[in-house]
Structure 1
Amino acid sequence: MKSQFREMIENCPIICAIKDENGLQQCKDNDSEIVFILYGDICNIADIVKTVKSYGKLAMVHLDLIAGLSPKEVAVDFIRKYTQADGIITTKPALIKRAKELSLYTVLRFFVIDSMAFSNIERQLSAARPDLIEILPALMPKVLSRICKMTNIPVIAGGLVSEKEDIMELLDAGVACISSTNPAVWDL
């Protein structure tokens, strides 16, 4: 069952992530077999999942974003008991563990915003052992370029900068400067 999930991921270069009813409707005709549900509340999440499932797609509920659910294991129990969700997405390793106990697919999401967040990944992975991980942000130079173009406020780029090439890419993207906790970068 878990190997089938990984195979689906490998065969699905784009996963639909939906954040509202419009996205829910648009994902129907997409080739993606998997849908990340990033909205809802305890009153409507079962209906959202049911709609995704009616499209013949795998439904992954981002627990952290469902209004009315607590960041405790009982939230996973709720999703398992009251929805047809295939799995969960969360930033909380304890919820991943509970979901695995309930035979749900699991995605542990990381916001890699600096070197401290990056250094915690390995420890959390060994403790939670999710099926997949999701790293955010994915393409920082592109994202930073967009931000720089939409504002006149100078943009500082920080986090995970470790090589001169990183600095050059970020400066080319339009940032004003780079901040880093890595002393080796300070002299580049």
Structure 2
Amino acid sequence: MEKKALMKNNPIIAAVRDVSLIKKAVLSPVETIFLMTGDIFSIEHCVEESRKYHKSIFLHVDLIKGIANDREGIKYLSQKVKPNGIVSTKNQLIQAAKKEGLLAIQHLFMLDTQAYENGIRNVSNVQPDAIEIMPGLMPRIIQELYEKIDCPIITAGLIKHPNEIRKVIEAGAQGVAIGEPELWYLDFKYS
């Protein structure tokens, strides 16, 4: 199963939870940033900073204040803010982003078997460019998903140690979104 590459060399994604950390993220060796905070007034600056340092940036639209969670909000982001893409739990926002030419990452919470099965169904119906699953410490689930769906898998949540990053990558995750700035600087490359 051939999956599109979102991260070319470094699987670590800077999950920025405080706008004041954007500079630290763009100066780190990560290639990709997930902006998980901010508002309509701060996101443009974050996107500009990311571009200046040749980083891809995805806006977690469910967490950004002042952007409506509708097609018009996505259209505004696409035309005015111009991130590489979005992250969202909402099927309609994933579809709207794809229509606007943005990459779309569907965020899934894997809480139980029903959430797992619903997630597979949603991915099949919506066809995001990648999925982000939480919690990230589930190598068996990552491996099963890798075999069942045809899009890259990004893990997030509860990952605190380099060996945990290695385990989820070995299980099939293409990327690991990490909120701990000191882990953004790990010299971790694909094997």
TM > 0.5 between the two?
Answer: yes
Deviations 1:3-53, CA, capped at 9 Å, x for gaps: 9x9334252210111111332121122111111111111122111111111
Q: Which has the higher contact order (CA 8 A, sep 6+)?
A: 2
User: For the residues of structure 1 that align with 2:4 and 2:29, how far apart are their CA atoms?
Assistant: 17
SS state at 1:12 partner: coil
Deviations 1:119-140, CA, capped at 9 Å, x for gaps: 2012111221000001000116
CA apart distance, 1:70: 2.1
Which among 74, 94, 97 is matched to residue 96 of structure 1?
Answer: 94
Which among 100, 104, 107 is matched to residue 106 of structure 1?
Answer: 104
Residue equivalent to 1:7:
5
Residue equivalent to 1:163:
none
Residue equivalent to 2:44:
46
C-alpha RMSD over aligned residues: 2.4
Residue equivalent to 1:124:
122
Identity of aligned residues (%): 31
Retained in 1: the 8 A contact 2:19–2:42?
A: no
User: For the residues of structure 1 that align with 2:52 and 2:39, how far apart are their CA atoms?
Assistant: 19
Task: Considering fraction of residues, name the structure with more helix.
Answer: 1
Retained in 2: the 8 A contact 1:49–1:85?
A: yes
> Whose Rg is larger?
1
SS state at 1:43 partner: coil
Gaps (5+ residues) in structure 1?
144-188
Which among 72, 75, 78 is matched to residue 77 of structure 1?
Answer: 75
TM-score relative to the length of structure 1:
0.68
User: For the residues of structure 2 that align with 1:43 and 1:22, how far apart are their CA atoms?
Assistant: 13
The within-5 A match list for 1:22-37 is: 22-37=20-35
Retained in 2: the 8 A contact 1:80–1:102?
A: yes
User: For the residues of structure 2 that align with 1:136 and 1:107, how far apart are their CA atoms?
Assistant: 13
Retained in 1: the 8 A contact 2:88–2:107?
A: yes
Q: What is the one-letter code of the residue matched to 1:94?
A: Q
Retained in 1: the 8 A contact 2:78–2:101?
A: no
Retained in 1: the 8 A contact 2:108–2:134?
A: yes
Residue equivalent to 2:63:
65
Deviations 1:87-116, CA, capped at 9 Å, x for gaps: 010001111111111111110000111222
TM-score relative to the length of structure 2:
0.67
User: For the residues of structure 1 that align with 2:125 and 2:55, how far apart are their CA atoms?
Assistant: 29
Deviations 1:130-178, CA, capped at 9 Å, x for gaps: 00001000116995xxxxxxxxxxxxxxxxxxxxxxxxxxxxxxxxxxx
Distance 1:64 1:120, change over 3 A: same
User: For the residues of structure 2 that align with 1:21 and 1:95, how far apart are their CA atoms?
Assistant: 23
Task: Kindly tell me the number of residue pairs found equivalent between the two proteins.
Answer: 141
User: For the residues of structure 2 that align with 1:131 and 1:8, how far apart are their CA atoms?
Assistant: 9
Gaps (5+ residues) in structure 2?
140-156, 159-191
